[in-house]
Amino acid sequence: MKYTLRFISILYVLLLSVGLFSHVEIIPALLSTVKRDAWISVILAIFVLFILIFLLYKMITIIDRQSIIELLKDQRKLTYYILLFPISLYLLFNAFITAKDIIYWSQLSYMQGFNSFLLALLLLVFCLICSEAGLFTIGTLSTIICPIVIFLGFFVSFSNVKKRILNFFFQCFLKGIFHWQKV
């Protein structure tokens, strides 16, 4: 029996990966750098997103919807490995940085005092089991986990309504437009 992913499973995997990346890596770095003006960078990033979508569309039309691995296999063996090396290196560094940030964030948020080596080992074993089980299993797990994560996110958001200070949301450029220039 051939297992195929449903669209909703792909959507849930995408939501979980984007949410994890933004909450663990992007938002803390952004807030520590630009403080309250961080929301302006999201508006500016929309313009960059349109350019990237256009470039991606052009690349897909040029390679005629062929897989990158298949496209590279058409090259000579040496060229294949030379072109595949930076992609593999990028994915390896991305996995290492994400795992390090997840461990740091988990210990900071809800696992204070837990051994970081044991947490890294548990994360590594869980990722190994999921990758060995295949993409269909990851999609099925994300179909179960993503609604729980969304529910808990709304729960935390609504439970913090009393503590929210709405005056802070619309104060812009408190530290100046540039760090050397005051408004």
Query: 23-69: per-residue pLDDT in tens?
Result: 767 777 777 777 666 777 778 888 988 998 998 888 878 777 777 67
The answer to whether residues 182 and 50 touch, using CB atoms and an 8 Å cutoff, is no
Q: Quote the mean pLDDT of the chain.
A: 80
CA 138/CA 143 separation, integer angstroms = 9
What are the boundaries of each domain within the chain?
1-65+135-182
Q: Six-digit token pair at 144?
A: 């179960």
User: Alpha-carbon Rg of the chain, whole angstroms?
Assistant: 21
CA 144/CA 165 separation, integer angstroms = 34
The answer to whether residues 35 and 171 touch, using CB atoms and an 8 Å cutoff, is no
Q: What pLDDT does residue 54 have? A: 92
Q: What pLDDT does residue 86 have? A: 87
Work out the average pLDDT over 151-155: 88
Q: Return the number of other C-beta atoms located less than 10 Å from residue 146's C-beta.
A: 19
Residue 181 has pLDDT above 60, yes or no: no
According to the per-residue pLDDT averaged within each range, which of 38-42, 98-102, 174-178 is highest?
98-102
CA 13/CA 97 separation, integer angstroms = 19
Q: What pLDDT does residue 7 have? A: 84
